[in-house]
Structure 1
Amino acid sequence: MSKSMKIGELAQQVGLSIRTLHYYDEIGLLSPSDRTEAGHRLYRDHDIIRLQKVISLQQLGFALKEIRECLENPDFALPQVINLHRARLREQMALSRTLLDRLDAIATQLQTTQSIAVENLIQAMETITMTTQYFTPEQQAILEARFEKRAVEWQDLLTEIRAEMNRGTEVNDPNVQRLAGAWRANMASLIHGDRQIYESFVKMYQHEGSETAGIGALDNDTFEYISKAVSFLSLAEDMDFVVTFKRFNVEANQVIAVGQQAIRELNFNFFGTEGMLLGLLAEGKSVAAQVLMDAGVSFGTTQQVIQEWLASSAILPEDMPEQLGFAPRAYRVMELALEALNQSAAQQPAGPVRANPGHLLLGILLEAQEGGGVASKILTDVFGLDLIQLEQQLRTAMVR
């Protein structure tokens, strides 16, 4: 009988992050054969063999899409791998030869004239820049696969943004704010909460400019315009948030407070749906907490999984801001919680006038139908829960 390995053990042994293995599963490149009763992934011998092929092909320079096509093609043989590898090595060698020629010319010029033409330096720097990587190979592969999935949607969004910018529309215009929300959602989908990827993306644009960075033909002016629009959107949401909090009762606000503290203890500086889930479990007294615990959801396991999944987003304790930023999905959960409150008030006039922790959990479950954040993925992937059934149990418990 083949030995099985948990995701953390496998990640440690092969030198990949747990986040990467989760992503391979997400895109169907490497899905584990089994799961534990608690929903944890278990990898068997043939899964590990497939992972070895994935890693080997990545080292040859293959993109994830190419790797998936190779593994799914029974006719794909070693000679094809070798030929592709040879072609890519030739490209790399040609780039190296160009750089060497330019550096040789600079060295010769310095030896003979003790000075150097600026144009020659610029050419050399351009070639060096081409060989500089802002992303790790792992990050490049992830970004490439994610961007390819939404390339058309991304391009349409950029076209709309650029049109508003060319019209001279102010960033606080309602239509531009709508585009800013769509941009932020697309960017969140692209980076999946990985702040390191986002920071590398911004740094690349700032240092290299649009000609080199050029993801989705995004020029510098458009990037600056939409960045200002997103900043204005975030400020407006923060102002609205003060009003929003008044619509939650003491227990719900306590859930958010203890959830923020739990996230701080994990050294994360943003509050997403995972923080909301931790808050519900940490508060532990509400009907929502009881429904979760009855379903087998525990604070300890949830905390451990969040720490593993979001490890790359952790910061140093001394860099922790005084106030945590709320992730877009956390805002959406609260919006859905208030919508659920309004619906219950319409159906039962004598119902609660302020949202309680049950409404927050309803928000998490309803938001899962829109794609879902980390919280809903934990409930399904780790604890193996049926979210529709969990919602029914919660609604029943809330009217008792």
Structure 2
Amino acid sequence: MKRYWKVGDLSRMTGLTVRTLRFYDQIGLFSPSGQTESGHRLYNESDLSRLQQILSLKELGMSLEEIKSAMAGEQFSPLEIVNLQMARTREQIKMQQQLLEQLQYVSKLMQGKALIAVEDFTRLLQAMKESHEKLVIERRTSWEYRLDVLGDFLADEHEGMHLKEDKP
């Protein structure tokens, strides 16, 4: 027996907003497999698998356009996407482990009331910088994409207003 979820159910399960899921449908990235008689979106298990792939690629830093292209061209199999996500997670763990080791080292020095060398703080600051740098780049890329989408929307709206004004 197939299971279906409405957009609100999917939103609660994934943490994505209903608005985001509707936007994904609007741009052709992620559409439901069915609808109720009253027009509510219905998602099935294969839709959930596709959404997992989309979110994994997004987490890897791909833009929605790149994800759409990758999914349409089937550039990545579901297994490849999971493997890419595992590799990224390992990289993040390694960076966080390095930061933790630096923090523990400085903490031991402070507890022992030892003098902390400039090099110790430099290594700590470098580890902190590396762990935060990636997050900042990902957020900037996401905001740039959202601003591009907003700009396109506003340009379309502006053009539509001029067309209405030109009509007698």
> Does TM, normalized by the shorter one, top 0.5?
yes
1:369 to 157, 165, 168: 157
Q: CA offsets per residue over residues 283-330 of structure 1, 9 Å max, x none? A: xxxxxxxxxxxxxxxxxxxxxxxxxxxxxxxxxxxxxxxxxxxxxx8x
Aligned match of 1:127: 127
Aligned match of 1:241: none
After TM superposition, give the deviation of residue 60 of structure 1 in Å: 6.5
* Whole-Å separation in 2 of the counterparts to 1:27 and 1:63: 16
Aligned match of 2:14: 14
Aligned match of 1:109: 109
Distance 1:43 1:98, change over 3 A: same
CA contact (8 A) 1:32 1:41 kept: no
* Whole-Å separation in 2 of the counterparts to 1:106 and 1:3: 53
After TM superposition, give the deviation of residue 99 of structure 1 in Å: 1.7
CA contact (8 A) 1:61 1:88 kept: yes
Letter in 2 for 1:102: Q
**Larger Rg, first or second structure (1 or 2):** 1
After TM superposition, give the deviation of residue 21 of structure 1 in Å: 1.0
Distance 1:8 1:105, change over 3 A: closer
CA contact (8 A) 2:5 2:42 kept: yes
Q: Quote the sequence identity (%).
A: 27
* Whole-Å separation in 2 of the counterparts to 1:147 and 1:116: 41
Aligned match of 2:42: 43
Q: CA offsets per residue over residues 361-391 of structure 1, 9 Å max, x none? A: xxxxxx973278xxxxxxxxxxxxxxx8xxx
Correspondence 1:144 to 2:141: yes
Letter in 2 for 1:12: R
Secondary structure in structure 1 of the residue aligned to 2:41: strand
After TM superposition, give the deviation of residue 30 of structure 1 in Å: 0.7
Correspondence 1:32 to 2:32: yes
* Whole-Å separation in 2 of the counterparts to 1:13 and 1:111: 44
CA contact (8 A) 2:57 2:81 kept: no
* Whole-Å separation in 2 of the counterparts to 1:368 and 1:58: 28
Distance 1:149 1:112, change over 3 A: closer
Distance 1:107 1:49, change over 3 A: closer
Count of matched residue pairs: 157
Secondary structure in structure 2 of the residue aligned to 1:370: helix
After TM superposition, give the deviation of residue 52 of structure 1 in Å: 3.8
* Whole-Å separation in 2 of the counterparts to 1:9 and 1:89: 27
Aligned match of 1:299: none
After TM superposition, give the deviation of residue 84 of structure 1 in Å: 2.2
Distance 1:79 1:54, change over 3 A: closer
Where do 5+ consecutive residues of structure 2 fail to align? none
Distance 1:146 1:107, change over 3 A: closer
CA contact (8 A) 1:6 1:43 kept: yes
Aligned match of 1:96: 96
Aligned match of 2:76: 76
After TM superposition, give the deviation of residue 106 of structure 1 in Å: 1.8
After TM superposition, give the deviation of residue 12 of structure 1 in Å: 2.6
Secondary structure in structure 2 of the residue aligned to 1:110: helix
Distance 1:37 1:371, change over 3 A: farther
State the superposition RMSD in angstroms.
4.7
TM-score under structure 2 length normalisation: 0.57
CA contact (8 A) 1:4 1:42 kept: no
CA contact (8 A) 2:33 2:43 kept: yes
